[in-house]
A and B are shown apart, each in its own frame.
Chain A
Amino acid sequence: MDLIRRSQAGDERAFAELFEQYKNLVYKTAYLMLGEPQEAEDALQEVFLRVHRSLNSFRPSKGAFSTWLHRITVNYCINQTRKRRLRFLPITQVHPEQMPSQPSPESRLGEEDSVAQAMRDLSSRLRAVVVLRYYWDMSYAEIAQTLGIPLGTVKSRLNAALSALRVELEPSASVHLPDKEVVK
Chain B
Amino acid sequence: MNCQETTAMMVAYLDQELSPSERKMVAAHLAECDSCRRELAALSAVQGRVRRSLHQQAVEAVPASDAWVRLQATLAAARPAYPARIAAGLQSIVLSIRTMFLGGTLMRRFVLVSLVTLALVGGVVITVPSVRAQVREMIDTWFHFQLPGGRSGVGIGFGGARQAFTPYLPTWLPEGLDLGLNGGSTMPGAEYVEFEFHPMPRRKGDDRFIRLVEGKGEAVPGLPEGREVMVHGQRAVFTSELSDRHEIQVDPPTPAGARLLAWYMDEIKIELVSNLPESDMIAVAESLVPMEEGIGQP
Q: Which 9 A-B pairs have the closest CB atoms?
A: A115-B53, A178-B8, A31-B61, A135-B54, A27-B63, A112-B53, A166-B46, A159-B11, A134-B51
| In the complex, B206 has a CB within 8 A of chain A | no
Across the interface, do B247 and A76 meet the contact criterion of CB distance under 8 Å?
yes
Q: Across the interface, which residues of B come within 8 angstroms of A176, CB to CB?
A: 4, 7
Residue of A nearest to B17 (CB): A140
Q: A176-B7, A178-B4 are in contact. Are A79 and B221 (CB under 8 A)?
A: yes
How many contacting A-B pairs (Cβ < 8 A)?
152
User: Can you list, as one digit per residue, whether each of A12-55 has a CB less than 8 Å from chain B (1) or not (0)?
Assistant: 00001001100110011001100001001100111011101110
Min CB distance, A62 to chain B, in Å? 7
What are 21 A-B contacts defined by CB distance under 8 Å? Answer: A16-B68, A28-B58, A40-B61, A45-B67, A53-B189, A54-B249, A59-B251, A62-B251, A71-B246, A72-B247, A111-B53, A112-B52, A112-B53, A112-B57, A119-B53, A135-B51, A169-B46, A169-B49, A173-B42, A176-B4, A178-B8
| Count, chain A residues at interface, CB 8 A | 65
Binding site for B on A (CB under 8 A): 9-10, 16, 19-20, 23-24, 27-28, 31-32, 37, 40-41, 44-46, 48-50, 52-54, 56-59, 62, 68, 71-72, 75-76, 78-79, 82-83, 111-112, 115-116, 119, 130-131, 133-135, 139-140, 147-149, 155, 158-159, 162-163, 165-166, 169-170, 173, 176, 178-179
The distance in angstroms between the C-alpha atoms of A165 and B42, with both chains bound, is 11
Contact A158 B11, CB 8 Å, known A20-B68, A170-B42: yes
Known contacts A59-B250, A162-B47, A166-B43; A83/B222 CB under 8 A: yes
Other-chain contact of B63, A44, A78, A133 (Cβ < 8 Å):
A44
The answer to whether B8 touches A111 (Cβ under 8 A) is: no
B64 contacts the other chain (CB 8 A):
yes
